[in-house]
Structure 1
Amino acid sequence: MFYAIIQSDDTWILWAFLAGWAGISIYLEQKYEWASKISGAIVALVGAMLLANFNIIPTESPVYDTVWSYVVPLAIPLLLFQSNILKIWNESGRLLIIFLISSIGTVVGAIVGFFLLKDLIPELYKVVAMMTGSYIGGSVNLAALSARFETPGELISATVVADNLMMALYFLVLMVIPTIAFFRKRFRAPHQELVEQSSNKENKNQAASYWKGKEISLQDIGLAVGSAFALVAISFKLAEIFDKLIPTDGNFILTALNGIFGDNYLMLTTITLLSVTIFSRFFEKIRGAQEIGTYLIYIFFVVIGVPASIPVIIQNAPLLFVLVFVMVALNMFISFLFGKLFKFNLEEIILASNANIGGPTTAAAMAISKGWSKLVAPVLIVGTLGYVIGNYIGAAIGVWLGLF
C-alpha cells in the first residue's frame, strides 16, 4: 500500500496544495525569467511530481477526481468567452487562413507520428488525440481530450514533459527566425522592419507583460463564474440526454452521432460557441474570464503531475518527444511552405504556427515581446478559434486512430 505524509482523505490540505502551488507557479512564471522560459505549467507539474515521488502527497485522492470532474469543465467555457466566430472572421480573416493551414500541418504530423510509433507506445491514439487538440488550441483542449479519452495520468505527465521541452525549443526557433538571412530573403517582414527601424529594444517578461493587471469588478467575477456553471450544466445534461436517445448498437452512423452529441466536452464546446456568438455583447463585456479559466487550468497541471512516476517518464518521454517533434516539424514545414506560396508575411506565419502549437496566449506574448503590436489582437482572436476546433479535430483523430 502506497504511504504518503499527507493522506488521500486530507481534503483541505490537498486543496490548499493544489490551489496554492498553482498560484505559486503563476507567480514564478511572471516574476522570474527562468520560470517564464520553461512556463508556469511545467513548474506546476514538476513540483507536484516531485512531492508525489518523495511520498509527501498521495498519488490518488477524491480531491484529484474533483478537479477532473468539475474544475476542468468550468475552465473550458471561461477560456472560450472571446470566441465569437463572426468577429474572428471579420477582424482576422487573413491571419485565420494561415492559422487553418498550420492546423492541417498539425493533423498531418499527428497521423505520421502515430503510424511511426503506434507499436512502441501503448494507447498512443489517446495521446495523439490529446496533442492534436493541444497543438491546434491549447491547454484547455489537452485537459478536455485527456478527460474524454480517459488517458492514464502517467502517460499525460510524460507527454506534457515532452511537449513543454519541444515547445520551449520551438519557440526559441521562432523567436530567432526573423533575424536569419535565409528567411528574410524569402519572406516579407514588414512588422519586423518597423521594429528594427524604431530600434525599440525594451525587454519584458512575456508572461508578466501579457497578464498585466486590469480592472475586474465583483459583477465580472459573478457573471463569469455563474455563466460557466450554467453552460457546463446545460451542456452536460444535453449530452446525457442524447447519449440515452441515440443507440450505439453497431450502426456506424448512430455510433458516430452518439460520439458527437453524447460527448460532454464536444457538447460543452458547441453550446459555449453558440452562446458566445449569439450573445456576443454580453460575453465580451465580462472581464477576467480568461484569467480565471487559466488559473483553473494551472490547477489541472498540478493534478496531472501527481501520478507521474519518474521512472515511467524517463522510459516514455523520449519516445513521446519523437511524437511531438514530428507533429511540430510538419506543422512548421506546411506553415512555411504554404505561407510562401500564398505570400503571407513572415510574422503572420510565425504567429499562426505559434498559436497552433502554444495557443493564443503564447502567440500574443511573442507578438508583444517582438514589438509586432498590430498583430497582438488578431492572433489572440484567431488563436481562440483553436480552442473551439481543437476538441472536434482531436476527438475525430482519436476515434479514427483508435480503430488501428
Structure 2
Amino acid sequence: MKTLISAENTWGLFAILVAVAALAIYLEQKYQWASKITGCVLALIGCLILSNLRIIPTEAAAYDFVWDYVVPLAIPMLLLQANVKKISKDSGRLIIIYLISGIGTVAGGFLAFFALKNFIPELNKATAMMVGTYTGGSVNLVAMADAFDAGGELVSTSVVADNLLMALYFFALIAIPTVSFFKKHFKHPLQDEIDKRTANGESQNHAQNYWTAKPVALKDIAFTFALSFVIVAVSTEIAAFFGRIIPTSNFVLALLNGLIGNKYLIMTTLTMILATAFPTQVGGIAGAQEIGTFMIHIFFGVIGAPASIYLILTKAPLLLVFCAIIVATNMLISFLFGKLFKFNLEEICIASNANIGGPTTAAALAIAKGWNALIVPALLVGTLGYVIGNYYGIFVGTLLR
C-alpha cells in the first residue's frame, strides 16, 4: 500500500512521530477535554488517523526502532523514583487486584474462543496472542505469535483489533470514576481528595498540574541517559545469559527462565534496587520522568500506526468482537472481585488497565486522573505482566490446540 511518506523514509517518519507526540502533550496540558483523553491516547489516535489516511505506513523500520530501543530506555527513566520502601504498601494491594484481573483475561479468552471457534480460523493461536497481550502488552502478542507460528495476516489483524479495543477501553476507564453507579458502589478516596481540591479552586487539568516546570540541569539530562543506557545494556546481557543457561525442560525451570531471562523484568529490578539503595542520588535526578514520558508518547504513536480500520473491517470484523469479549470479561471480573474484596475504584481501574494496556497506559491513566500515588505501582505491576502474559498465553494456547 503506497503512502505519502514511504516506509523507507525513516527521518520523515520520526519527524511525524515526534511531532504528533509533542502536539499530544501540548493539547493535554492546554485543554481540559484533551487532558481527559490523555496525551498518550491522543498520540495513538493521531497516528491512527494518519495511517488510515495513507499519509504514513502501517509498518516501517522506524517503528521497530521505537520498540527495540526507545521503549527499553524509557522504562528505567520512569522507574528512577521507584523507591520500594515508599511504594510497597500501595503496590502490594495493587498486585493482588492485578492478578485477579488477569484471571479475568484468561476466562475471557476461553469464553471468546468457544463462542467464535466455528467462525474464525486458527482461533487458538489468536486466543494465545490476545490473552498474552491483555495480561502484559504487545511484546507478549509478538512472543505468542512466534510460539504458535501464527500467520502474518492473523498477526496484523490481531494487532489492529488489540490497539482499537485498548483505546476504546482506555476511554471507558477514564469515564468510569465519574459515573454515579460506580461512585455509589465503590470506595474512591483518591478521587474524593481530588474533588475536594477542585472545589477549593485547584485546576482540574491533572496532567498540567503534575507536569509543572521543574529546574533541570545539564548533568541531570546526562545522568538520566547514561544511567538508562547502562541499565538497559546490563539487563539485556544478564537476561540473555540466564536465558541461555537455564533449561526449559519442565514447568519450574521454564518459569525461572522466563523470569530471569526477561530483560524488562531485569531492568525493572535493577532500577528499583538503585532507586531504593540511593533514593537521594537516583531519585533526585530531575527530568528523568519527563524524558521517559515523552518517549512513551512516541511509543503510543507507533501503537496507533498499524491500526488499519479498513483491514479489520474487511479482513476480520469478528476478531474485533472476539477481543471485545475478552476485554469485557476482564472488566467484569475485575470490578466484581474488586467490590467483593473491598478494593478502591482507582485500584481496580489501574489494575484492569495494566492488564489490557500494559504499564504505560496504566501510568498514563493515573497521571490523567491525578492519582499520583498509583503512578509507580501501575508501572511495576504492568511490567510484571510482561512475564505473566507469556505463561498465560502459552497455557491457554496449548490447552485449546
Normalised by the shorter chain, which TM-score bucket?
0.7 to 0.9
CA distance in 2, matches of 1:221, 1:53: 36
What corresponds to 1:216 in structure 2?
Answer: 216
CA distance in 2, matches of 1:146, 1:233: 24
Contact 2:29 2:35 in 1 (8 A): yes
Structure 2 counterpart SS, 1:34: helix
What corresponds to 2:185 in structure 1?
Answer: 183
What corresponds to 1:136 in structure 2?
Answer: none
Give matches, 1:1-400, under 5 Å.
Answer: 2-89=1-88, 93=89, 95-118=90-113, 119=117, 121=123, 122-133=125-136, 142=137, 144-146=139-141, 148-149=143-144, 152-177=155-180, 182-183=184-185, 192=192, 199-200=199-200, 202-248=202-248, 250-314=249-313, 315=317, 316-339=319-342, 349-358=344-353, 359-366=362-369, 368=370, 376-400=371-395
Aligned in 2, Cα 1:23/1:100: closer, same or farther, shift over 3 Å? same
Give how far 1:270 is off: 2.9
| Runs of 4+ residues over 6 Å off in structure 1 | 188-191
Contact 1:131 1:394 in 2 (8 A): yes
TM-score of the pair, normalised by structure 2: 0.81
TM-score of the pair, normalised by structure 1: 0.80
Structure 1 counterpart SS, 2:266: helix
Give how far 1:296 is off: 1.2
Give how far 1:67 is off: 1.1
Contact 1:72 1:144 in 2 (8 A): no
CA distance in 2, matches of 1:36, 1:298: 14
Deviates more, 1:192-201 or 1:250-259: 192-201
CA RMSD of aligned residues (A): 3.1
Aligned in 2, Cα 1:295/1:156: closer, same or farther, shift over 3 Å? farther
Give how far 1:70 is off: 0.7
Give how far 1:60 is off: 2.6
CA distance in 2, matches of 1:220, 1:279: 15
Contact 1:42 1:161 in 2 (8 A): no
Number of residues of Structure 1 aligned to a counterpart in Structure 2: 371
CA distance in 2, matches of 1:255, 1:161: 32
CA distance in 2, matches of 1:214, 1:252: 48
Give how far 1:178 is off: 8.4
Give how far 1:34 is off: 3.2
AA paired with 1:353?
Answer: I
Give how far 1:71 is off: 0.9
Contact 2:164 2:307 in 1 (8 A): no
